[in-house]
Structure 1
Amino acid sequence: MLSSASEQQPEAPARENAAKPQRLNPLGAPPKMARRLVDRARSKNSEVGDQRLSEARSQKLKVNRKARI
């Protein structure tokens, strides 16, 4: 009985980790976009949130340009 209990414990965290991304996405958006939206909503100053979003978008565009070349 002890061996079966110890075998079940490592499986439980793996299941929880697999379910976490779904819990983080109430908006149905990709995980990164959902985090950005949450950051923007949490920021007291909306300008700071907008700046973060614009920086993230510019980073994404740079990566996409590099991938095309």
Structure 2
Amino acid sequence: MEQAKISANITIEQIVQKITSSGRINRADQQQFMATLLALNTLNSTEEALINRVFELLRAGRLRVVD
């Protein structure tokens, strides 16, 4: 399995858009999501809402986790 490179220039909004439009999250998406979050010092309300959206989709079963 090939590992995708984690881009330092991608935003939370771009990651969430990719995840929600595909309806799935894979390991590379998850790593990129977490690396981007950890690189931020603070979250604004928009970023918090986007993060919560991903978790709500996961909880509702509307986002598939794939390898």
The bucket for the TM-score relative to the shorter chain is 0.3 to 0.5
Larger radius of gyration: 1
* TM-score relative to the length of structure 1: 0.36
* TM-score relative to the length of structure 2: 0.37
Q: Which is bigger in relative contact order (C-alpha 8 A, separation at least 6)?
A: 2
Higher-helix-fraction structure = 1
Higher-strand-fraction structure = 2
